[in-house]
C-alpha cells in the first residue's frame, strides 16, 4: 500500500467544550489532527503522526481517524492518560490541557520510507511546546527540510506557550517553513505591543520566501507572498462554534494546492469555505470536498 504524500505531526486530543454554563460536551480534536483529518476528507492522501491513549477517548480518536481515511500506520497507541483540552469558552476559544499520551510519540516507529513518500509535512500548536515532544518535532522538521520536502507551520497560540517558545521554537519553525498560517490572535500573542502591520513585517523578515496565510476570523484572510498580497472575505454561514475553524482553513489552503487548484484567489476561496463549513458544525468539524464545493457554489449564486 502506497504511503501518503502528506504527514501531519503533533497532538490529537479530546476537546471538552462548555457551550453554556454547566453544559459540557466532548469532541475529538487537536489542531494537527484536525488539519490531517480535514485534508484526508478533502481528498488528499494524508497521515496523522502522533500518539493517543488506549482508553475509550483514544478509541474514539482512532475511529474518527479511520472514518476520515487517514493512514493509520502513522498513529501510535500508548498506555498513558489521554490528552484533554478543557474549553470553557468557544467565543473566542480558551483552552487548558491535561494528560500525556501525546508525549510518547516515537519517530522511530514511523513506516519505513515515510520521508521519501512525503511531499509536505505540517507542524502546529501545543505539540511544539510540550516537552520532550516539542524539541523532537523541531528536529523532525529539520530532517524534512534537509530532504527538500515542503513544510507548513501554524503556531496556533495557546496559553502553554512561553518566552522560550517565542524566542526559540517560533523563530526556528518560521525559518524552516515554506507555508505559514497564523491568526490575528496568534499575531497579538507572539508580538505583544506591536501593531498588526509591524508584527507581520517582523514575521516576513524572518522568512521572506514563505507564503503567509493570515486569518482574521469573520474579517476574512490575506495571503502574503514575495511581492504580492491577495485578500479573501469570509463566507457567511450560521455559526455553531468556531472551534477548529483555523485548522479547517489551513487544511483547505494546503489541500487546494495538492488538488490542482493553482490560482491564489481560488485557493483562498476554497480555504475560506472550509473554515465556514467547520463553523457551521459543532466541534472541530472536518469539511468534505463536496460540502466545500456546495458552499462555494451557493456563495457565487448570492453575488
Q: Would you give per-residue pLDDT tens digits along the chain (303 residues)? A: 899 999 999 999 998 888 788 888 888 999 999 999 999 999 999 999 999 999 999 999 999 999 999 999 999 999 999 999 888 876 666 778 999 999 999 999 999 999 999 999 999 999 999 999 999 999 999 999 999 999 999 999 988 888 899 999 999 999 999 999 999 999 999 999 999 999 999 999 999 999 999 999 889 999 999 888 999 998 988 887 777 889 999 999 999 999 999 899 999 999 999 999 998 887 788 999 999 999 888 888 776
Distance CA 70, CA 62 (A): 10
Q: What DSSP character marks residue 48?
A: E
In a domain, 287, yes or no: yes
Give residues with Cβ within 8 angstroms of 162, minimum separation 6: 129
What DSSP state is assigned to residue 37?
Answer: H
CA distance 177 to 155: 11
Q: Where are the alpha helices (DSSP H) in the chain?
A: 31-41, 56-68, 114-117, 133-146, 163-164, 170-176, 184-190, 196-206, 245-258, 264-279, 289-301
**Contact status, residue 214 vs residue 200, Cβ threshold 8 Å:** yes
Give the three cell numbers for residue 76: 501510535
Strand 84-90 to strand 13-20: parallel, antiparallel, or no bridges (unpaired)? parallel
C-alpha cell at 219: 474579517
Reduced to 3 states (helix: H, G, I; strand: E, B; else coil), residue 66 is helix
What pairs with residue 228 in β-bridges?
Answer: 225
**Closest-CA residue to 269 (of 227, 243, 303):** 303
Q: Are 107 and 40 in contact (CB under 8 A)?
A: no
Instruction: Render pLDDT for 118-167 as a digit per residue (tens, 0 to 9).
Output: 999 999 999 999 999 999 999 999 999 999 999 999 999 988 888 899 99
Query: Are the C-beta atoms of 177 and 190 separated by less than 8 Å?
Result: no
Does residue 86 lie within any of the structural domains?
Answer: yes
- On whether the CB atoms of residues 243 and 29 are closer than 8 A, the answer is yes
Residue 1 lies in a domain: no
Answer positive or negative: Cα dihedral of 22, 23, 28, 30. Answer: negative
- Cα–Cα distance between 226 and 71 in angstroms, integer? 34
CATH number at residue 278: 3.40.1190.20
- Domain annotation covers residue 54: yes
- Measuring CA to CA, which residue among 222, 166, 211 is closest to residue 191? 166
* pLDDT recorded at residue 303: 65
User: What domain range includes position 169?
Assistant: 6-301
Strand spans (E) along 35-107: 46-53, 75-78, 84-90, 93-98
Domain count, the chain: 1
Amino acid at each position: 500500500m502506497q504511503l501518503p504524500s502528506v504527514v501531519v505531526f503533533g497532538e490529537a486530543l479530546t476537546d471538552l467544550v462548555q457551550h453554556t454554563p454547566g453544559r459540557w460536551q466532548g469532541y475529538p480534536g487537536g489542531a494537527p489532527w484536525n488539519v490531517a483529518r480535514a485534508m484526508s476528507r478533502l481528498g488528499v492522501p494524508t497521515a496523522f503522526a502522533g500518539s493517543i491513549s488506549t482508553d475509550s477517548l483514544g478509541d474514539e480518536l482512532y475511529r474518527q481517524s479511520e472514518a476520515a481515511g487517514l493512514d493509520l500506520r502513522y498513529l501510535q497507541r500508548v498506555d498513558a492518560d489521554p490528552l484533554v483540552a478543557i474549553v470553557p469558552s468557544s467565543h473566542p476559544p480558551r483552552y487548558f490541557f491535561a494528560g500525556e499520551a501525546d508525549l510518547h510519540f516515537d519517530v522511530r516507529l514511523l513506516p519505513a520510507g515515510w520521508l521519501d513518500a512525503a511531499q509536505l509535512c505540517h507542524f502546529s500548536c501545543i505539540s511544539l511546546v510540550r516537552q520532550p515532544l516539542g524539541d523532537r518535532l523541531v528536529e523532525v522538521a529539520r530532517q524534512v527540510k534537509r530532504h527538500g520536502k515542503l513544510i507548513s507551520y501554524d503556531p496556533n497560540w495557546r496559553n502553554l506557550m512561553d518566552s522560550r517558545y517565542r524566542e526559540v521554537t517560533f523563530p526556528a519553525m518560521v525559518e524552516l517553513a515554506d507555508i505559514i498560517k497564523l491568526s490575528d490572535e496568534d499575531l497579538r500573542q507572539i508580538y505583544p505591543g506591536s501593531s498588526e502591520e509591524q508584527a507581520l513585517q517582523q514575521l516576513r523578515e524572518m522568512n521572506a520566501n514563505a507564503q503567509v496565510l493570515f486569518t482574521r476570523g469573520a474579517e476574512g484572510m490575506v495571503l502574503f507572498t514575495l511581492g504580492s498580497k491577495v485578500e479573501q472575505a469570509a463566507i457567511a454561514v450560521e455559526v455553531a462554534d468556531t472551534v477548529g475553524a483555523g485548522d479547517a482553513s489551513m487544511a483547505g489552503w494546503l489541500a487546494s494546492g495538492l488538488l490542482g487548484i493553482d490560482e491564489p484567489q481560488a485557493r483562498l476561496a476554497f480555504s475560506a469555505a472550509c473554515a465556514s463549513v467547520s463553523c457551521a458544525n459543532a466541534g472541530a468539524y472536518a469539511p468534505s470536498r463536496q460540502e466545500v464545493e456546495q458552499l462555494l457554489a451557493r456563495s457565487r449564486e448570492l453575488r
